[in-house]
Amino acid sequence: MAPEDGWQRVNKLSMLVQLARLGFQAVIPAAFVLYGSASEAKNLATVVPILFLVGTLIVGVVGLSTWLNWYRLRYRIGDSDVKVEKGIISRQARSVPYDRIQDVSLEQKLVPRLLGLVQVKFETGAGGKDELALAYVSEAEGERLREVVRALVEGEQAAEPVAQEAEDTPAVAATPPARTLFAMGPKRLFTFGLFNFSLVIFAVLLGAAQQFEFLLPFDLWDYIGSFFSNEAVNDAGTYLSSLDMFARIAAILYAVGVVVVLGVGTGVVRTFIRDWEFLLERTAKGFRRRRGLLTKTDVVMPVHRVQALIVKTGWLRRRFGWHGLSFISLAQDSGSANHDVAPFAKMDEIAPIAAEAGFTLPDEAEEWRRASPKYYTDSAVINAVVIGLPAMAVIVFGNVWLGIALGLLALVLVLREFFLWNFDRHALDPAQVLSRRGWLAPRVQVANRVKLHSVEIAQGPLARLRGYCNLKFGMAGGTFSFDGLALDDAKKLRAAVLDSIAEVDFAKLPR
């Protein structure tokens, strides 16, 4: 029960989370000290009691500091804002008005999740330091805070539950049950992971080798340096040249296979960690997305806050019919601004989700338009000049193969502009603006005309000379533009979109 002045403290178990984090950070240095002293029993017998005494002192100081931090941290849900105060000696107070809060989300890392705690994030749309987070409260308190703050943000009265005094009192209408729109089980996650090739494992191993190289029986970097300095490379080359062609090919295939297996395995593991128990539901409050193995996130997005949607795919997954759907919300550039609502799905699974958000996916009847060919011609000429001239200079100065490689690169970039002109499209229907970009990995973006904030025509010096421009649509949660349009076409599109915006009384729209 909240105090009379409205101030509340976070859950007491949050102190255990802080102690667990500090304890984990202290275990590794202590283990290194013990490892360095283990070579001699005499040193070990001296170090262990010292570590015990120092550890006891540190635990006492840290425990007291953790308790003081918990005691001095408090929050209040007021009539006009959310307030948080913290700090022992130096006090910090933050207040975020409800008109700046775009969304409220819940997040659970591993240790808080085991203790039944959540972190509540009040997203202002600015990202970074301007976001307000409350760590940690119970799961029930987190749900209550989200509902109360959402109601206040939407301008509604946050009603507290009232006990039913008589049996003949009419019961409050039950909230409609949540409907599952999309979910991913282990089989779907495994398939998704196969397409998420990643070589981050090599960066992790390299970083671990750098941090813990003193545990190795040799100096790693000296060993690598000596390999290149004492003709070991030449010896390796001589050994490889002594092999027959079949053995060389087998060695290359083996090396490539190891990289592919590690990359695919890393992608599968990362996918399981990020998207475990992925579930998208349609609730009375909007779209609710939950996912995560080690860190579980719970995000709810009201339907009227969805400004646009993006349907994208990759060059390989496209061949198997897999696409991804994400929403763009009013929370500008925040952690949940672009919600992955169906990151790995078929189009027949994506279409119903888009319809729930009030969007229609493009079909065969859509009247797609091309951009001005001058825009792509100019880009092709610039690429040819910037890369082609250095290629010719390299050939003249004697490095023929490098010059040919640069020339081929220039040719590829020129052909790319031709393909982009052939595949990039834009369209305008009575309710939406649509963009389709890309050749190998197409990306379709659909925005609601009414929810756009502004329409801007942008031209550089070359564009003004050649008569084309970029048409940019203002959105709080992302960017959307038609590039390289003929100027007359852009003006007509801008007038049509502005007319749609002007016809709407925004005071009557949900906030």
**Cα–Cα distance for residue pair 200/339, rounded to 1 Å:** 24
The reply to whether 187 falls in a domain is no
Query: At residue 158, does pLDDT exceed 50?
Result: no
Supply the pLDDT for residue 421: 87
The helix (run of H) or strand (run of E) holding residue 287 is strand 286-291
Query: At residue 167, does pLDDT exceed 50?
Result: no
The reply to whether 467 falls in a domain is yes
Residues 130 and 241 in one domain: no
Supply the pLDDT for residue 161: 41
Query: At residue 218, does pLDDT exceed 80?
Result: no
For residues 354 and 241, which has the higher predicted lDDT (pLDDT)?
Answer: 354
**Beta-sheet pairing, 278-283 with 443-448:** unpaired
The reply to whether 169 falls in a domain is no
Residues 148 and 206 in one domain: no
The reply to whether 440 falls in a domain is yes
Classify residue 398 as left (phi > 0), alpha (psi -120 to 50) or beta.
left
Estimate to the nearest angstrom the gap between the alpha carbon of 52 and the chain centroid. 43
Lowest mean pLDDT, pick from 67-71, 154-158, 275-279: 154-158
Q: Which domain holds residue 145?
A: 8-153
Supply the pLDDT for residue 452: 85
Residues 35 and 144 in one domain: yes
Over residues 180-197, the pLDDT tens digits come to 999 999 999 999 999 988
Supply the pLDDT for residue 355: 93
Over residues 135-153, the pLDDT tens digits come to 889 999 998 988 888 888 8
Lowest mean pLDDT, pick from 179-183, 431-435, 479-483: 479-483
Give the DSSP letter string of 349-369.
HHHHHHHHTT-----TT---B
Among candidate residues 274, 308, 337, the one where a domain is terminated: 274
Please, which pLDDT band fits residue 234 given cuts at 50, 70 and 90?
Answer: low
- State the average pLDDT for the chain: 79
Please, which pLDDT band fits residue 338 given cuts at 50, 70 and 90?
Answer: low
Q: What's the total number of domains in the chain?
A: 3
The reply to whether 184 falls in a domain is no
Please, which pLDDT band fits residue 268 given cuts at 50, 70 and 90?
Answer: very high
Residues 15 and 145 in one domain: yes
Residues 26 and 123 in one domain: yes
CATH of the domain at 498: 2.30.29.30
Q: What is the pTM of this model?
A: 0.77
CATH of the domain at 107: 2.30.29
Over residues 290-331, the pLDDT tens digits come to 999 988 888 888 888 888 999 999 888 999 999 999 998 865
**Cα–Cα distance for residue pair 434/440, rounded to 1 Å:** 19
Residues 103 and 219 in one domain: no
Q: Which range has the top average pLDDT, 69-78, 99-108, 250-259, 339-348? A: 339-348
Among candidate residues 224, 255, 274, the one where a domain is terminated: 274
Over residues 70-98, the pLDDT tens digits come to 888 889 888 888 888 888 877 888 888 88
**Cα–Cα distance for residue pair 221/228, rounded to 1 Å:** 11
Supply the pLDDT for residue 34: 54
Residues 378 and 483 in one domain: yes
Supply the pLDDT for residue 506: 52
Sheet containing 306-312, strands listed edge to edge, beginning at the edge strand earlier in sequence: 338-345, 323-329, 306-312, 443-448, 432-437, 425-428
Residues 68 and 136 in one domain: yes
Supply the pLDDT for residue 169: 42
Over residues 359-394, the pLDDT tens digits come to 999 887 788 888 999 999 999 999 888 888 888 888
The reply to whether 62 falls in a domain is yes
Supply the pLDDT for residue 290: 92
**Beta-sheet pairing, 103-108 with 92-97:** unpaired
For residues 146 and 5, which has the higher predicted lDDT (pLDDT)?
Answer: 146
The reply to whether 342 falls in a domain is no
Between the CA of residue 408 and those of 379, 401, 420, what are the distances in Å? 17, 11, 18
Over residues 333-339, mean pLDDT: 53
The reply to whether 180 falls in a domain is no
Residues 18 and 144 in one domain: yes
Between the CA of residue 88 and those of 136, 200, 381, what are the distances in Å? 18, 40, 63
Among candidate residues 114, 129, 153, the one where a domain is terminated: 153
Percent residues over pLDDT 90 in the chain:
22
Q: Which range has the top average pLDDT, 243-247, 340-344, 362-366? A: 340-344
Query: At residue 411, does pLDDT exceed 60?
Result: yes
